[in-house]
Amino acid sequence: MSAAEKKSSSMPEFLRRFFVALKRQPSIIALVVLIIAFFYYSLNLTHISDTTAKIQGPGMGLSGFATMLFSMLSLVCFLNAFPKRKKPVIPMVVLMFVMFGIIIFCDVRYSGLIMTALTREVNPIKLDATTAYIAQAYNVLQNHMMLEGAGVVLVLLLPVYSKLLRRINTSITVEDNGKLDVIDISGED
C-alpha cells in the first residue's frame, strides 16, 4: 500500500473511531459546550471584576463569584451525573440543573445591574475609552448566557441525539469474510 493510499484510508478510520467514541458516550458533546462556556467566562473575568469595582452595585461581586463557583461545580456534577456506559444519576442531574439555573440567574442579575448603572438618572456611568470594559463585560455575560443555554439544551436533548448517533453505521467490512479454507488442526503432516 502506497503512502497516498494509507493517508486516504486513515481519514475514514479517524471519523469511524470518532463516531464510535460518540456512540459510547454521547454526553461528551454537551460537556464540551459547557467547558467552552466555563473557559469563556473565566478568561474574561478581568472585565467582570473591573466592572464590579467601577459600578459597585448591590450583589455584583456575589453574582460574579456564584457564577464562577457554580460553573466549576456544575462541571463536576455533569461528570458524576453521566458516568461512562451507565445510566444517568438522577440526583446529580437535578443538582446540575439547579446550578445551571443559578448561573443564568446571576448572569441576568449582573447584566441588569450594569444596565441600571448606565441608565440611572443620578450620576450615570458614561461609556468611553476608559470604561469600555463595562460594555465588554456586558457582552461577555450575554455570550455566556447563550453558551450555558446551549449546554442546557444539549443536556436536555441527550436522549434524542444519542439515539440518532446509534443509527450511524460504524462497522468495518472485512474482505473474504466466510471464504476461509478448512484449517487442519490434527497435527498430522
Domain that holds residue 94: 27-159
Q: Is residue 19 part of a domain?
A: no
Inside any domain, residue 14: no
Output the CA torsion sign for 32, 34, 37, 38: negative
Is 17 within a domain? no
Measured in degrees and rounded to the nearest 5, phi and psi for residue 182 equal: -70, 135
Residue 181 lies in a domain: no
At 31 the pLDDT is 93
Residue 130 in grid coordinates: 476608559
The per-residue pLDDT for 51 is 92
C-alpha cell at 66: 456564584
pLDDT of residue 8: 45
**What is the pTM assigned to this prediction?**
0.80
- How many domains does the chain contain in total? 1
CB 64 within 8 A of CB 48: yes
Give the per-residue pLDDT at 162. 83
Alpha helices, H only, the chain: 3-24, 28-43, 45-55, 60-81, 90-119, 132-156, 158-166
Dmax (CA) of the chain: 103
Residues of the chain with pLDDT under 50: 1-9
- Residue 174 in any domain: the answer is no
* 37 within a domain of the structure (yes/no): yes
